Amino acid sequence: MHILLILALAVLFPATHILNGWLFDFASINDHVSLIYLPAFLRLFNLLVLGPLFGTIATILGGLLLMTQFNDPLGLSLLNIVCSSTGPLIAVLCFKLYMKRQPELNSLNDLAGLTLIYCLCNSLIHHVTWVLIDQSQVFELTQVFWMFLGDLNGALLGAYLMKAIIDYLEKKGINFSGPSQPRN
């Protein structure tokens, strides 16, 4: 069952990325930064639902599928996948260390806090990596901010959508109470 969910989430990531580009083309700053980036939440969702190991595998597989959409060199594409997979891991780890518990899937406070940490980590990790691999680039805080804002908008939209779905399903008798289940 895990393998099917991992593969489904891996395919969902590039599909959502393509849909995001189509729906929010007006909000694109460049090929890697949009002011509304829905797939940002999928990275967190993978970890929250599948746990750190399987969630990261789903994100990496989704990133590998997404590589075909860009004309970036292989090394840059692989670094972007590593950056995209690292941000959610750091965010969940920071949340667990600070709150001393797992994030609760049905708590908007937990999802919003985790989203803020993730978006900050993701934009910083990507931009520091881009500057390190291309020394001629300048670390621009405005670019970091725009990526943070796009990830935040997309991730919060995803978190609120997930919360609405969970609330609906709980009204139908499916219980999601309690922390997300870590699976290694």
Q: Give the pLDDT score at 72.
A: 83
Is the residue at 179 inside a domain?
Answer: no
CA distances from 23 to 4, 27, 37, 112, 171 (A): 28, 9, 10, 23, 31
Task: Calculate helix-pair angle for 108-133, 39-66, nearest 10 degrees.
Answer: 40
Q: In which element (H, E) is residue 136 found? A: none
- The answer to the question of residue 180 being in a domain is no
Q: Mean pLDDT check: name the lowest of 75-79, 105-109, 115-119, 150-154.
A: 105-109
Helix axes 108-133, 141-171, angle to 10 degrees: 150
Strand pairing partners for 179? 104
Could you tell me which of 124, 149, 152, 150 has the C-alpha nearest to residue 44? 152
Q: Does residue 6 register a pLDDT over 50?
A: yes
pTM given for the model: 0.83
Q: Please report, for the domain that includes residue 85, its CATH number.
A: 1.10.1760
Asked whether residue 140 is assigned to any structural domain, the reply reads yes
Does pLDDT of 25 surpass 50? yes
At residue 182 the predicted structure's pLDDT band, cuts being 50, 70 and 90, is very low
Query: Quick one: how many helices (H) and strands (E) in the chain?
Result: 5, 2
| Straight-line distance from the first to the last Cα atom of the chain, in angstroms, rounded to the nearest whole number | 15
- Inside any domain, residue 181: no
Q: What is the pLDDT of residues 102-138, one digit of tens each?
A: 998 878 899 889 999 999 999 999 989 888 887 666 6
Mean pLDDT (whole number) for 86-91: 95
Domain presence at residue 119: yes
Tell me whether residue 184 is in a domain: no
Domain that holds residue 95: 2-171
Is the pLDDT confidence value at 93 over 90? yes
pLDDT of residue 47: 92
Give the count of domains, the chain. 1
